[in-house]
Amino acid sequence: MSHDPVYVTRPYLPPLDELMPDFREIWDSRVLTNSGPYHQALEKALAEYLEVEYVSLFCNATIALVTALQALKVSGEVVTTPYSFVATSHSLLWNNIRPVFADINPVTLNLDPDAIERAITEHTTAIMPVHCYGVPCDTEAIQKIADKYKLSVIYDAAHAFGVKRNSGNLFAEGDISVLSFHATKVFNTLEGGAIVCRTPEMKRHIDHLKNFGFVDEVTVVEAGINGKMNEMQAAIGLHQLSYLDDALSRRRIIDTRYREALHRVEGVNCMAVFKDAASNYAYFPVLINDAYPISRDALYALLRENGIFARRYFFPLISNFAMYQHFPSADPANLPVASQVARQVLCLPIYPELNDEDLQRIISLVQNPTGGNK
Ligand SMILES: *Cc1c(COP(=O)(O)O)cnc(C)c1O
């Protein structure tokens, strides 16, 4: 009995035949980048889809995060979450900013507003929260803190594309939101990302920053970077958008199957369903506790032996990487919830093309990890 390996995700792509006419047009025109027609069309389409006014495309979300901090002139210290992909904190180090880690809420796994407030010092200039797994942060509480201490807010919204919140547009929160269109994300342009901002001046500034700081042919005003998305990627993005609803509905079916099958398994906790927001079902994290017959790592290994590559996102915590451990806020005693969740979490495969047979194999293994009678 052999199966193809099942990874935690599989990039979704539109049919190649559909892309070819656009690729040919790009070839023939020789307009490959520098805000060409596809770039402009995708910025417009995304602004419509996200129901925001100002979108600036990037080559990836990490460069977009670095640029967002520059655009807002953030310096000193920034309060952020240890429970994220390492790019969140790396973007601070690239700007010579000190990350200050605050603990997370055990239900949403997002930054706990009280912990944010406790972490603020005279050097704090901004907060960088993450909508982890696409679950919206407590944006109201975070904005209150930001207003009280006059801080910028940059949301790392890399997980949140396609999330629709009832109580106001998630991407209109804070000063800037950063999206990732990496291959592994719900909406991908192979590599890619975007900044969503609130004013035309900010968009113009960001567009300069991602193009070396050029404001016209002969004028460079600051040390910008090359953060541009190219025309091929923008063309792919336009096609991806038309399949997004289908992709999300297949993800939703898989999410429901997992929940129905796992909610009664002792020792396995699924994430809560949040009534205020329609999920994008980007991830399917479960938390494995002591009531489960085997450890989280033993389940991870068992799945691997069966060709199923679940991932321990986010383990280790960013604050536990050797290069971050010297920051005082990285002390695990400061981050009890994040530390525990990182020991318990396992993200199960979820992607539109995950077939029913593979899904059932994963479910059976999680339901019965000892392979027999209990
Ligand atoms: C994927 C991801 C990033 C980085 O995105 P890239 O587009 O790969 O640079 C940043 N933050 C979080 C939370 C992510 O998941």
Query: pLDDT-based confidence at 2, cuts 50/70/90?
Result: confident
Q: Please give the share of the chain, as a percent, with pLDDT higher than 70.
A: 99
**Res. 320: pLDDT tops 70:** yes
Q: Does one domain contain both 209 and 163? A: yes
Determine which one of 44, 73, 164, 185 is catalytic: 185
Q: Does one domain contain both 223 and 333? A: no
The confidence score (pLDDT) of residue 211 equals 97
CA of 86 to the centre of ligand 1 (A): 8
The confidence score (pLDDT) of residue 3 equals 85
Q: Does one domain contain both 164 and 262? A: no
159 Cβ closer than 6 Å to some ligand 1 atom: yes
39 Cβ closer than 6 Å to some ligand 1 atom: no
85 Cβ closer than 6 Å to some ligand 1 atom: yes
- What number is the average pLDDT over the span 221-244? 97
Structural domain for 268, as ranges: 244-367
Q: Does one domain contain both 154 and 223? A: yes
The crossing angle, in degrees rounded to 10, of helices 16-29 and 231-262 is 160
Radius of gyration in angstroms for the set of CA atoms belonging to the chain, rounded to a whole number: 21
**Res. 100: pLDDT tops 60:** yes
Bridge partners, 311 (sequence order): 347
**What is the total count of domains within the chain?**
2
The confidence score (pLDDT) of residue 371 equals 86
Kindly report, residue by residue over 127-154, the tens digit of the pLDDT: 999 999 999 999 999 999 999 999 999 9
User: Closest ligand 1 atom, CA of 185?
Assistant: 1
The confidence score (pLDDT) of residue 296 equals 98
Kindly give, in sequence order, each residue whose CB lies less than 8 Å from that of residue 131, ignoring residues fewer than 6 positions away: 110, 137, 155, 156, 157, 159, 160, 163, 170
| 78 DSSP 8-state letter | E
91 Cβ closer than 6 Å to some ligand 1 atom: no
Q: Which DSSP string do the residues of 105-131 spell out, in sequence order?
A: -TTT-SBPHHHHHHH--TTEEEEE-B-
Residue 199 in domain: yes
156 Cβ closer than 6 Å to some ligand 1 atom: yes
Residue whose Cα lies nearest atom 6 of ligand 1: it is: 61
User: Where a domain ends, among 207, 239, 271?
Assistant: 239
3-state secondary structure of 371: coil
Q: Is 185 a catalytic residue?
A: yes
182 Cβ closer than 6 Å to some ligand 1 atom: yes
Percent helix, strand, coil in the chain (nearest 5)?
Answer: 40, 15, 40
The confidence score (pLDDT) of residue 1 equals 60
User: Closest ligand 1 atom, CA of 62?
Assistant: 9
User: Closest ligand 1 atom, CA of 91?
Assistant: 10
Q: Does one domain contain both 115 and 154? A: yes
**Res. 373: pLDDT tops 80:** no
User: Where a domain ends, among 189, 222, 239?
Assistant: 239
84 Cβ closer than 6 Å to some ligand 1 atom: yes
CA of 18 to the centre of ligand 1 (A): 28
Query: pLDDT-based confidence at 51, cuts 50/70/90?
Result: very high
Q: Does one domain contain both 227 and 266? A: no
**Res. 306: pLDDT tops 80:** yes
**Res. 241: pLDDT tops 80:** yes
279, 374 contact by CB (below 8 A): no
Q: Does one domain contain both 40 and 174? A: yes
Kindly report, residue by residue over 160-199, the tens digit of the pLDDT: 999 999 999 999 999 999 999 999 999 999 999 999 999 9
**Res. 158: pLDDT tops 90:** yes
Q: What is the mean pLDDT of the chain?
A: 97
**Res. 97: pLDDT tops 90:** yes
Q: Does one domain contain both 79 and 217? A: yes
CA of 329 to the centre of ligand 1 (A): 22
CA of 65 to the centre of ligand 1 (A): 9
179 Cβ closer than 6 Å to some ligand 1 atom: no
Kindly report, residue by residue over 260-299, the tens digit of the pLDDT: 999 999 999 999 999 999 999 999 999 999 999 999 999 9
CA of 275 to the centre of ligand 1 (A): 26
Nearest CA-CA partner of 52 in 158, 200, 153, 236? 200
User: Closest ligand 1 atom, CA of 130?
Assistant: 13
- What number is the average pLDDT over the span 98-114? 98
9 Cβ closer than 6 Å to some ligand 1 atom: no
Residue 227, domain CATH = 3.40.640.10
CA of 158 to the centre of ligand 1 (A): 5
The confidence score (pLDDT) of residue 16 equals 97
- What number is the average pLDDT over the span 81-85? 98
Kindly report, residue by residue over 117-126, the tens digit of the pLDDT: 999 999 999 9
Query: pLDDT-based confidence at 374, cuts 50/70/90?
Result: very low
For residue 314, cis peptide bond before it (omega within 30 degrees of 0): yes
